[in-house]
Amino acid sequence: MLYNELLNREEKISVIGLGYVGMPIAVAFANKVDVIGFDVNEKKINLYKSGIDPTNEVGDEVIKKASVDFTSEESRLKEARFHIVSVPTPINVDKTPNLAPIERASETIGRNLTEGSIVVYESTVYPGVTEEVCIPILEKVSGLKVGKDFKVGYSPERINPGDKIHTLDKIVKIVSATDDDSLEEIASVYELVIEAGVHKASSIKVAEAAKVVENSQRDINIAFMNELAMVFNRMGIDSQDVLDAMNTKWNALGFSPGLVGGHCIGVDPYYFIYEAEKLGYHSQIVLSGRKINDGMGAFIADETIKKLIETDKIVRKAKVAILGMTFKENTPDTRNSKVIDIVDRLKEYGVEPIVVDPIADKSEAKKEYGIELEELENINNVDCVVLAVAHNEYRHMTLEDYKKLYAKHSKNIFIDVKSVFSREELEKSDLTYWRL
């Protein structure tokens, strides 16, 4: 049994794709079995070998102590017989699924696949991709036959980047496979590192669908909050005050308005929408939620412009600082960040905002968005501060700290996207404020 051979270190696990998902998995398994960590990005591999964790998911100290065998040489995958695929699955410009990364990963594994191996995909896909796209690639490239020479499973990643409470081991792992025997083996392997246990899905398609819909559900709930926030804004009602009152009921869901980006909630619904439309069904709720959430950056920028006008600022000459560039707080990941929508909308009005983020990957921000991130200590004489991402660094700042960033005149503006400060505190200050 492959499970026993892994425990006895007679066989190895490989993790293909060492990002925010793959790295924690590789490190966790390395405490139990021999692990090969593979990524095509040599720069990233060299960082890991140097004990540096650019994702901040496990931390430098853990990386230094980890026994993961990092490599960018695909031939090393021949040494493993249990492969975990955790490459990203983004969307194209037209919002359709971009399966190129997972297809390339399948080709790479296929070139190095040996008999008796198990391949488990963790990348988010729409139902059918594992069996209709990935398995044919594995068979064609390897010359082997699924079911006879190798087995395939699907176990959707559920890691919440930046979350130090709901970590990999504390989240129930969904597992599925092409047959019952491999399902039991895959479940046993994951149980080595998942304290919360596993849930055995009835089929691979069920597991694929579960991942897509769990994030679509969150997307829809946040879209509802965002729609309420936009309506309450017109009514002159503070949406956070409404939520505070509503959340006193035992069955309130606790969602709040905000920017929805990243590589899960901001992407997965489009995978569902794409497959539904292929089958002749035009999504109503999921697509509407996506449209609302995709428009929040522009809405926040428009409200910022209104405040500039209300305070008699010359819009084109206004100096605006945006604090935060990542897709969520306390993670360096800028992929699919909706802060760029605020930036782009402000530029339409002739405003060239300064963007600051203490933990964002600066090279990634430059490559993806053409933005040169500035240091907070260099920010001064601004007319408006937009607190877009509530990093701990920003939450620990007082209003007096923020006031040091402004020009020395009255009618300075504070845009509190994440409602970090209470309305009472903002009202007592001499800042003109707006919050979502």
Active site residues: 264
Alpha-carbon span 380 to 395, nearest angstrom: 19
Do the bridges between strand 80-85 and strand 117-121 make them parallel or antiparallel, or are there none, so unpaired?
parallel
Q: Are the beta carbons of 152 and 119 closer than 8 angstroms? A: yes
Asked if residue 259 lies in contact with residue 338, where contact means CB atoms within 8 angstroms, the answer is yes
> How crowded is the C-beta side of 434, counted as CA atoms within 13 Å?
27
Nearest to 73 by CA among 37, 23, 24: 37
Cα gap 346→251, rounded to integer Å:
39
Is the backbone of residue 168 left (phi > 0), alpha (psi -120 to 50) or beta?
alpha
Q: Quick check: 26 and 35 in contact, CB under 8 A?
A: yes
- Residue 313: both structure tokens together: 């600022």
b/e map of 135-172 (b: 16 or more CB within 10 Å)?
Answer: bebbbebbebebeebbbbbbbbbbbbbbeeeebbeebe
- The angle that helices 135-142 and 100-111 make with each other, rounded to 10 degrees, is 30
**Are 53 and 59 spatial neighbours (Cβ–Cβ below 8 Å)?**
yes
CA distance 305 to 308: 5
Going by the DSSP 8-state scheme, the letter that residue 146 receives in this structure is B
Contacts of 389 (CB under 8 A, 6+ apart): 259, 323, 324, 325, 326, 328, 329, 339, 357, 417, 418
Name the token pair of 194. 């998942």
Q: CA-to-CA distance for 134 and 67, rounded, in angstroms?
A: 29
Of 177, 171, 179, which is closest to residue 208 (Cα–Cα)? Answer: 177
| Torsion angle defined by CA atoms of residues 373, 376, 378 and 380, in that order, rounded to the nearest 10 degrees | 120
| Cross-strand partners of 365 | none
